């Protein structure tokens, strides 16, 4: 074994760690040395969003000690920034295995550092944590979740005083403080229990009332209150609030997927608790088909992502992708607010650099501003801060199945998204349309945008190096043409430069640095390459567009666009 890894193992065996942890290390050493090496070869990185990793013993795993050290560093930073204030934090967790334990560990460490803690009494959706931070006047917060990752993962998301995840300068400053915690002996583990207050139903009620206030057309719901809704929480925290919110909105015909109703960190009915995946949503799709439902919705374990199923133009149940969902949601709020007479001249929407270009067309068609930011809702929240008092934020969203409606929550919120999407379905049904028919109508009006995504996973010790080498190769030797179309623009967000490779013209990209490359071809195709910030994978996003002259040509053009994306993927040797 590498001597540096062996040194870390020896430190844990000799250090102030519980006996169960030491026994697990000895067992791995004897039975699975490769796993032991992977558990200790690096420190689990506290990135700009927090921690995420496989649960287990070791420096490269989610456990009591890595969570405690991260919390100590975050506590130190909060006390440095607010030396004269009573520092307060809110803490929530989802249904994952050990999430409650990690949340209580986090609460104990904050409390031992003299910080006032508001800890939810049981699992809650991530967006409610964001709301609670603002509601309770906290300077920070934490939610213990690994979002949609497989069951062996858990995580720790850190938030700032506006309810958004950390952005500059706080993100990197917190990382520095966490890196200063060299040993578990630097952590204050207990002694501050009196600083912990348990919260629950009062915040739930305030959150539900806030979400209800987002409704644009309650009279449409009243007319369509028997809209047939199927909802699955996929064994996660959505069950705590989504049914209540739908009832409060006035929907009376809601069917919960019983097999996935109970919170369970083993996610027994799915391999991967992600509502983007057809396999994950298959039980819900079958139930929607049996009931002849109007809409199917699913939320991930911490209820910040939403998946939506509808009947297509052939009457078959299909899952919409995140871009399609965002397009429908954006359009509904813009169209309905205008129709209701509540649109404002300074309305704006926000999306990200890898989300469909159709968002810009929708904004232009409705005379509102559309801003593009880096991937992640913390950047949408940052743009809201920049525009606060000057422009009116309506909705934000990105392709990764996330929406953020209104500005009372500053992270993606699947609870309010479910309610909005059901209201949207009621609005269209009242006009005699399905959601799929509405989407095709928008394609006819603005152009048929089709997107796809490929994720390439590289696990283990050398996975990150392979991903880094892959993106660097594209940076050093960018393609001159893709699928027969010349690359007209290369956008490098890491160097903040755009370039026309044929003329040599360069320009500045006015966004924070990010390890993202985009290629725009002469035929208008957009290809983005981005290493994930939370998983050992690199993602490639593809977007192509054609005119759609009429709804009856949908299948023909859809097939043509799918072939175009396949050609791009083949051209880039990604399959």
CA–CA dist 176, 160 (Å, integer): 16
CA distance 100 to 97: 8
Where in the chain do CATH 3.30.310 domains reside? 449-571
Residues 76 and 82: their CA atoms lie apart, in Å, by: 10
- List the pLDDT tens digit at each of the 575 positions of the chain: 789 999 999 999 999 999 999 999 999 999 999 999 999 998 998 877 899 999 999 999 999 999 999 999 999 999 999 999 999 999 999 999 999 999 999 999 999 999 999 999 999 999 999 999 999 999 999 999 999 999 999 999 999 999 999 999 999 999 999 999 999 999 999 999 999 999 999 999 999 999 999 999 999 999 999 999 999 999 999 999 999 999 999 999 999 999 999 999 999 999 999 999 999 999 999 999 999 999 999 999 999 999 999 999 999 999 999 999 999 999 999 999 999 999 999 999 999 999 999 999 999 999 999 999 999 999 999 999 999 999 999 999 999 999 999 999 999 999 999 999 999 999 999 999 999 999 999 999 999 999 999 999 887 667 778 888 889 999 999 999 999 999 999 999 999 999 999 899 999 999 999 999 999 999 999 999 998 765 678 999 999 999 999 999 999 999 999 999 999 999 998 87
Give the separation between CA 277 and CA 149, rounded to whole angstroms: 12
CATH architecture of the domain 42-206 equals 3-Layer(aba) Sandwich (3.40)
Cis amide bond preceding 314, omega within 30: no
Contacts 24+ apart (CB under 8 A), 217-220: 217/336, 217/340, 217/423, 217/426, 217/427, 218/249, 218/250, 220/423, 220/426, 220/427, 220/430
Query: Do residues 424 and 435 touch, judged by C-beta distance below 8 A?
Result: yes
- pTM for the complete prediction? 0.95
Tell me what pLDDT residue 536 has.
73
Q: Please tell me the distance from the alpha carbon of residue 137 to that of residue 114, in angstroms, as a whole number.
A: 17
Q: Does domain 449-571 have CATH number 1.10.287?
A: no
Contact assessment for residue 462 and residue 351, using Cβ atoms and an 8 Å cutoff: no
Helix axes 242-249, 414-430, angle to 10 degrees: 30
Output the pLDDT for position 535: 65
Q: Which of 95, 147, 525, 528 is catalytic?
A: 147
Told to judge if 183 belongs to the known catalytic residues of this protein, a careful annotator would answer no
Helix and strand totals (H; E) in the chain:
18, 23
Q: Going by C-beta distance under 8 Å and a sequence separation of 6 or more, which residues neighbour residue 553?
A: none
pLDDT at 533: 64
As a whole number of angstroms, the distance between CA 288 and CA 310 comes to 9
Topology (CATH) of 320-412: Alpha-D-Glucose-1,6-Bisphosphate; Chain A, domain 3 (3.40.120)
The partner residues of 197 in beta bridges, in order of sequence, read: 118
**Which residue from 438, 457, 454 is spatially nearest to 446, judged by alpha carbons?**
438
Does the CA dihedral 345-403-92-242 come out positive or negative? positive
Residue with tokens 């290809």: 527
Architecture of the domain defined by 225-318: 3-Layer(aba) Sandwich (3.40)
Torsion of CA 300, 443, 511, 501, to 10 degrees: 120
- CATH 3.40.120.10 residue spans of the chain: 42-206, 225-318, 320-412
Asked whether 89 and 77 are in contact (CB, 8 A), the reply is no
> What is the overall mean pLDDT for the chain?
95
């Amino acid at each position: 074994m590498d001597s540096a890894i062996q040194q870390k193992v020896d430190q844990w065996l000799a250090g102030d760690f519980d006996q169960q942890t030491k026994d697990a290390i000895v067992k791995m050493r004897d039975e699975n040395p490769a796993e032991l090496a992977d558990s200790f070869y690096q420190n689990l990185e506290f990135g700009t969003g927090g921690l995420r990793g496989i649960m287990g013993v070791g420096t490269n795993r989610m456990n009591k000690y890595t969570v405690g050290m991260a919390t100590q560093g975050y506590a130190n930073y909060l006390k440095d920034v607010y030396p004269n204030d009573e520092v307060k934090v809110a803490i929530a967790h989802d249904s994952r295995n050990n999430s409650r334990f990690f949340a209580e560990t986090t609460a104990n460490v904050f409390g031992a550092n003299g910080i006032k803690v508001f800890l939810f009494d049981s699992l809650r959706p991530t967006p409610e944590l964001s709301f609670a931070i603002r509601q309770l006047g906290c300077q920070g917060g934490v939610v213990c979740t690994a979002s949609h990752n497989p069951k062996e993962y858990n995580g720790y998301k850190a938030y700032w005083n506006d309810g958004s995840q950390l952005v500059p300068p706080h993100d990197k400053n917190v990382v520095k403080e966490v890196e200063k915690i060299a040993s578990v002996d630097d952590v204050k583990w207990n002694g501050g229990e009196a600083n912990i207050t348990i919260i629950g139903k009062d915040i739930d009620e305030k959150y539900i009332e806030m979400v209800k206030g987002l409704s644009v057309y309650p009279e449409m719901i009243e007319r369509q209150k028997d809209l047939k809704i199927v909802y699955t929480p996929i064994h996660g925290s959505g069950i705590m609030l989504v049914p209540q919110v739908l009832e409060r909105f006035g929907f009376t015909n809601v069917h919960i997927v019983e097999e996935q109703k109970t919170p369970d960190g083993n996610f027994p009915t799915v391999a991967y608790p992600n509502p983007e995946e057809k396999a994950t949503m298959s039980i819900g799709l079958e139930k929607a088909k049996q009931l002849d439902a109007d809409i199917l919705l699913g939320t991930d374990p911490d209820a910040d992502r939403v998946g939506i199923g509808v009947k297509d133009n052939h009457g078959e149940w299909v899952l919409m992708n995140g871009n399609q969902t965002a397009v429908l949601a954006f359009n509904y709020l813009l169209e309905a607010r205008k129709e209701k007479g509540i649109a404002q001249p300074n309305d704006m929407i926000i999306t990200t650099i890898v989300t469909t270009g159709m968002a810009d067309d929708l904004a232009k068609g409705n005379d509102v501003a559309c801003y593009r930011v880096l991937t992640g809702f913390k950047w949408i929240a940052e743009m809201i801060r920049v525009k606060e008092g000057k422009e009116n934020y309506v909705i934000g969203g990105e392709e990764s199945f996330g929406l953020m409606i209104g500005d009372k929550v500053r992270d993606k919120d699947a609870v309010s998204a479910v309610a909005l999407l059901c209201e949207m379905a009621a609005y269209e049904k009242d006009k005699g349309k399905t959601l799929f028919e509405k989407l095709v109508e928008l394609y006819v009006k603005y152009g048929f945008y089709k997107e796809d995504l490929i994720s390439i996973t590289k696990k283990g010790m050398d996975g990150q190096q392979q991903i880094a080498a892959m993106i660097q190769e594209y940076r050093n030797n960018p393609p001159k043409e893709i699928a027969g179309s010349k690359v007209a623009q290369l956008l490098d967000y890491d160097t903040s430069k755009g370039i026309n490779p044929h003329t040599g013209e360069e320009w500045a990209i006015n966004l924070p640095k990010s390890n993202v490359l985009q290629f725009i071809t002469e035929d208008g195709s957009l290809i983005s390459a981005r290493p994930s910030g939370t998983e050992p994978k690199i993602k490639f996003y593809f977007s192509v567009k054609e005119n759609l002259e009429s709804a009856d040509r949908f299948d023909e053009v859809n097939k043509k666009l799918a072939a175009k994306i396949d050609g791009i993927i083949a051209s880039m040797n990604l399959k």
